Structure 1
Amino acid sequence: MSSKPFAISEDWVVVILGLAIIILALSGVIIPKPSFSWSSSGDLMSNVFSTANLGAIAAQFGLVYSTAIVGALLLRKNLKSLLIVFPIVMLLTVLALVLAGNETVKEYNLEAVIFSLAIGLIISNFFKLPQWFKDALSTELYVKIGLVLLGTTVIFGDILKAGSLGLIQALLVVVSVWYFSYWVCRKLKIDKEMSLMLSSAVSICGVSAAIATSGAIQGDNKKLSYVISLVLITAIPMMIFMPYLAEWMQLSQEVTGAWLGGSIDTTGAVVASGSLVGEEALKISTIVKFSQNVLLGIAAFFISIYWTYSKSVDDETKKDKPTLKLIWERFPKFVVGFVFVSLMFSFVVPAETNALIKDSLKSIQGLWFALAFTSIGLETNFKDLFKQDNKKPLYAFIIAQTFNIIVTLLIAMALFNA
C-alpha cells in the first residue's frame, strides 16, 4: 500500500518563505534597497544604473529568485520552466520600476504596479506566449509573500501615534463606506468576490486593500486587475480637483487634510494633494491615510473569516453550521503569518533593529507585489480587462466613491472643524 507523498499547502509555504526572508534580515542579511528615482538620462545612468545600485538590484533578484525556487520545490511545481520564466518576469518588473521612478511620472502618482500590469498586458496581447510559460507564473504566491512581509509595517505602537482624531475618522469611514459599498454591490447583483475587493479598495487604502482582500479570499486575478485599474484611474482627478474644491468651499487646512486623507485611495495621491493645500493639510491628510492603512490587516483578517465561513456554508450545507475544523481548513493560513509578523514587530523586535531593516523589507515587499502584477498582465487578455460586458462593477465603484467623498467630508468637518 503506497503512502501519499507529503505536501504543504501554498498558504503554509508562503508563511515559511515570508518568515525565512524576515529571519534572514533579523540575522543581519540585509539586502540593500535599490533606487529607481531619476529625472534625466544622466541621472538615470549615474543613479539607477550605477554599479552600486545594479548590485542592490542583483541582490534583490538573488533573494526573490531563490525564494521562488524553494517555493516551487515545496509545492512540487515544474522547476525547469520557472528557472527560465522568473528572470524574464524580474527583468520586465525592473523596467516597470524604472519607469515609475521617473520624476515626471511620480508627479502623476502612477504606481509601479500599473506599469508592471501594463507591460505584461502589452506582451501577452501582442505576442502569443506558450502555455508552459504561463503555467510557470505564480501570481498568488508572489502576492501572498508580499502580504506576509506587509505585516512588518503594521506596528501597533504607530497606530497610537497616528492621533486619536485620525483613528476615529479612519474607523468611522472604513466601517460606513465598506458596508455601503458592499450593500450597493450586492443590490446590483455583483458576485461576492468582486464586491469584497471593490468595497475594500474604496473604503480602506485602494491598491493595497484590493490586493490584501484578493489574497484573503483567493480572488480572481482579472477581477483584481479591474478593481485596481478603477482605483488608479479615479485617484488622479480626485488628487487634482479636490484641493481646489476645498478652497472653493473655504474649508480649513485641518478639515481639508482629513477629507483628502480619508477619500483618496492611494497614499502617493494623498501626499500630492495635501501638498497643494499647505503644510497643515499635508500633515493631517498623512495621519488620516496612515490610520486607514494600519486597519488593512485587521480588515483582511475579518474578511478572511467571513469569506471562509460563507464559502463553507455555500459548499457544504445550507442547513447545518460549518464546523470550526472546516473553517480552519479553508481559512487562508498566510493571514496567520501576517498577524504573527505584525505582533512580532510590534512587541518583540527592538525599535532599533526594525529601523535598520524596515526599508529593505518594505522594498522587497513592493518587489513581490510588482512581480505579481507583471505576472497578472502576462496571463491576462487585454480585452477581458477593459472591455467589460457587465458595467455593474463600474457603476458600483462610482456610487461608492461618491458616498465616500460625501461621508468623509461630513466626518472631517465634525471632528476637525475646531
Structure 2
Amino acid sequence: MSKKRIILQEDWVIVSLGFIIICLSIFAFTLPVPIFSWKDSKDLFEKVLAAQNLLLITFQFLYTLSIFMVGAWLMNKPLKNIFLAFPIVYLLTILAMIIAGNSQVKDLNLEAVIFSLSIGLLIGNAAKLPKWFTHALSAEFFVKIGLVLLGTTVIFSDILKAGALGLVQALVVVLSVWYVAYWLCKKLKVDDEMTMMIASAVSICGVSAAIATAGAIKGNTKKLSYVISLVLITAIPMMIFMPYLANYLGLSQEVTGAWLGGSIDTTGAVVASGSLVGETALKVSTIVKFSQNVLLGLAAFAISVYWTYTKKIDESRKTLKPTWSVIWERFPKFVLGFMLASLLFSFFLNPILINKVKDSLKNIQTFWFVLAFTCIGLETKFADIFNSESTKPLYAFLLAQTFNILITLVLAYLLFG
C-alpha cells in the first residue's frame, strides 16, 4: 500500500523556494546576470544576442524552470502542461527584457513589466489560447516568489542613512497619503481590492507596493495590472516635469531631492529625475525613496492582518469575525518570508557577502515579476481592464497622486529647507 504524498500549501512552498534561492546564492553559486542593455542593432547582436549571453539566458531558464517545477510538484500540480507552457512564457519575457534594455526606452523609464504585460495582452487578445496553456500559467506564484526575494533588497540601515528628517517625511507621507487615497476611493465607490492597491501604490513605493498588497489580500491580478499601468504611466510626466517645476519655484537641491523621492512612485524614475537636478538632489531623493521602501514590509504585514480580520468567514453569517486561528490560516505567509529575508540581509549577513550576491538576487527577483506580468497579460482581456468602471479608479488615483505631490512638497520644504 503506497503512502499518501504530503501536499504543501502554496504560500509555504513559496517561502521555502524563496529561501532555497537565497541559500543557493549565499552557499553554492550566484546565478550570472545576463546582459539586456543595448543602444543599436550592432550592440544588440554583439552583446545581448552574443553566444555567451544566450548561454547565460539559457542557464537562467533552466534555473527558473527547475524552481517552478519543484514548487508545482510540492503542490501536486500537473507537471506536463507546465513543462510545455513555461518555455513560451519565458521567451516572451526575454523579449520584454530586451525591449526594456534599449537605451532610448530606458531614457523614458519604461520598466520591463509594462512590456511583458503589453506583449501578453496583445497575444492573449489576438489569439484564443488553449485551456491547458492558460491553466499552466501561475502569475500569483511568480509574484509571491519575487516578493520574498524583494526582502533581500530592503535594508533597514537605509533608514539610518536618511537620518531623522528622512524617516519623519517617509512616515508622514505614507500614513497621510494612504489614508487620503483610501478615503477618495471610498467616496468614488471603488471596490475594496482596488482601493487597497491604489492606496498602497500611491503612498509607499508604486509597483512593489501594489504587488505586495495584491499578494497580501489575494487580489485580482487583472486589477493589479491596471494599477501598475497607472503607476508607470504617471511616473513619466512626473519624472520629466517636476525637476523643472522645482527650479521654477527656486527650491534647493535638498528640498527638490526630498520632494522627488517622496512623491514619484518608482525608484528608477526617482533616480532619473534626481539626476536631472544634480548630485545632491540625486543622493537625497534616493535615500528618501529607500526610507519609504523599507516601510513596505511593515505596511504589507498591517494590510494582511487588517484584511484577514475584516473579511467574513461565511457570507451567510455577516456579523461573525474570524478567530485568531482563521486569521493565521488566511494570513499570506509570503509576507513573513519577505520580512525574514529583509532581517537576514539587514542584520545577520556580512556586507561583503551581501555585495557579492545582491546583483544576482535582484536579477532573479525582477525576472519573477516580469514573468508574472507576462502571465497576467496572457490571461487578461482588454475589456477587463479598460471599461466604464475603470474611470473611477483612475480619478481616485490621479487625485491621490495630486495630494501626494502637494503634501510631500510642503514636508520637504519644512524638513529640508
For the superposition of Structure 1 and Structure 2, which TM-score range results when normalised by the shorter chain?
A: over 0.9
Aligned partners of 1:141, 1:388: CA distance in 2, in Å? 30
Query: What is residue 297 of structure 2 aligned with on the other side?
Result: 297
Worse-matched range after superposition: 285-294 or 215-224 = 285-294
Worse-matched range after superposition: 305-314 or 231-240 = 305-314
Q: CA deviation at 1:28?
A: 2.4
Worse-matched range after superposition: 60-69 or 379-388 = 379-388
Query: What is residue 7 of structure 1 aligned with on the other side?
Result: 7
Aligned partners of 2:157, 2:408: CA distance in 1, in Å? 25
Q: AA paired with 2:216? A: A
Q: CA deviation at 1:387?
A: 3.0
Within-5 A mapping of 1:361-376 = 361-376=361-376
Three-state SS of the structure 2 residue aligned to 1:129 is coil
Contact 2:312 2:320 in 1 (8 A): no
1:313–1:84 Cα change, 3 Å: closer
Worse-matched range after superposition: 357-366 or 235-244 = 235-244
Q: CA deviation at 1:337?
A: 1.2
Contact 1:270 1:286 in 2 (8 A): yes
Query: What is residue 36 of structure 2 aligned with on the other side?
Result: 36
Aligned partners of 1:314, 1:402: CA distance in 2, in Å? 39
Query: What is residue 331 of structure 1 aligned with on the other side?
Result: 331
- Taking only the aligned residue pairs, the percentage that are identical comes to 65
Contact 1:202 1:265 in 2 (8 A): yes
Aligned partners of 1:190, 1:269: CA distance in 2, in Å? 27
Query: What is residue 187 of structure 1 aligned with on the other side?
Result: 187
Aligned partners of 2:16, 2:349: CA distance in 1, in Å? 18
Aligned partners of 1:207, 1:321: CA distance in 2, in Å? 31
Q: For structure 1, list consecutive stretches of 5 or more residues without a partner in the other structure.
A: none
1:97–1:248 Cα change, 3 Å: same
Query: What is residue 415 of structure 2 aligned with on the other side?
Result: 415
Three-state SS of the structure 1 residue aligned to 2:344 is helix
Contact 1:120 1:375 in 2 (8 A): yes
Contact 1:312 1:327 in 2 (8 A): no
Three-state SS of the structure 1 residue aligned to 2:389 is coil
Query: What is residue 146 of structure 1 aligned with on the other side?
Result: 146
Q: TM-score, normalised by structure 1?
A: 0.96
User: What RMSD, in angstroms, separates the aligned Cα atoms of the two structures?
Assistant: 1.7
Within-5 A mapping of 1:97-136 = 97-136=97-136
Q: CA deviation at 1:390?
A: 4.3
Q: AA paired with 2:327? A: I
Q: CA deviation at 1:319?
A: 4.1
| Aligned residue pairs, count | 417
Q: For structure 2, list consecutive stretches of 5 or more residues without a partner in the other structure.
A: none
1:377 paired to 2:377:
yes
Contact 2:100 2:115 in 1 (8 A): yes
Aligned partners of 1:55, 1:233: CA distance in 2, in Å? 34
Q: TM-score, normalised by structure 2?
A: 0.96
1:200 paired to 2:188:
no
Q: CA deviation at 1:33?
A: 1.1
Query: What is residue 174 of structure 1 aligned with on the other side?
Result: 174
Within-5 A mapping of 1:310-329 = 310-312=310-312, 317-329=317-329
Contact 2:158 2:290 in 1 (8 A): no
Contact 1:312 1:326 in 2 (8 A): no
Within-5 A mapping of 1:254-273 = 254-273=254-273
1:316–1:387 Cα change, 3 Å: closer
Q: CA deviation at 1:173?
A: 0.4
